[in-house]
């Protein structure tokens, strides 16, 4: 059985846990979601599926990482309540690219040079 203990960063043990074990070929999980001694920290909350899909669409359209992050920060400055989305970092974008299978297809800003780069890559492999 694997026990994921609470954080020691708060100088006490949190009561939240996840226990996982295998029995008769089945994976069983026991979860205690209640926290004690601290509040949920916004940076540890996951991005919503909807926000991940929005960011993936922007990445697929070729919008740069810096532009996406700047737009998110600008939105946070408009006086909305601070949400997990406003804490998005470059690592979140990299994880979204990977999970949505988005890879850099364009090798160069000029289409002709981009195609030539692909051809050279294929020839070398």
The pLDDT tens digits of the residues spanning 37-89 come to: 656 666 667 889 999 999 999 998 888 999 999 999 998 888 767 888 888 99
- How confident is the model at residue 108, as a pLDDT? 64
Q: How confident is the model at residue 3 (pLDDT cuts 50, 70, 90)?
A: very low
pTM of the model: 0.54
Percent with pLDDT over 70 in the chain: 74
String of b and e for 84-110 (b: at least 16 CB within 10 Å)?
A: bbebbeeebbeebbeeeeeeeeebeee
CA distance 54 to 94: 14
């Amino acid at each position: 059985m694997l026990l994921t203990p609470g954080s020691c960063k708060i100088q006490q043990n949190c009561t939240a846990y996840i226990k996982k074990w295998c029995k008769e070929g089945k994976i069983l999980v026991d979860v205690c979601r209640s926290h004690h001694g601290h509040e949920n920290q916004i940076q540890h909350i996951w991005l919503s599926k909807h926000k991940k899909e929005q960011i993936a669409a922007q990445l697929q359209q070729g919008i740069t990482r810096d532009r996406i992050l700047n737009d998110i920060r600008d939105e946070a400055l408009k006086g909305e309540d601070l949400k997990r989305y406003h804490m998005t970092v470059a690592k979140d974008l990299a994880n979204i690219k990977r999970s949505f299978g988005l890879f850099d297809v364009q090798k160069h800003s000029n289409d002709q040079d981009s195609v030539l780069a692909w051809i050279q890559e294929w020839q070398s492999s």
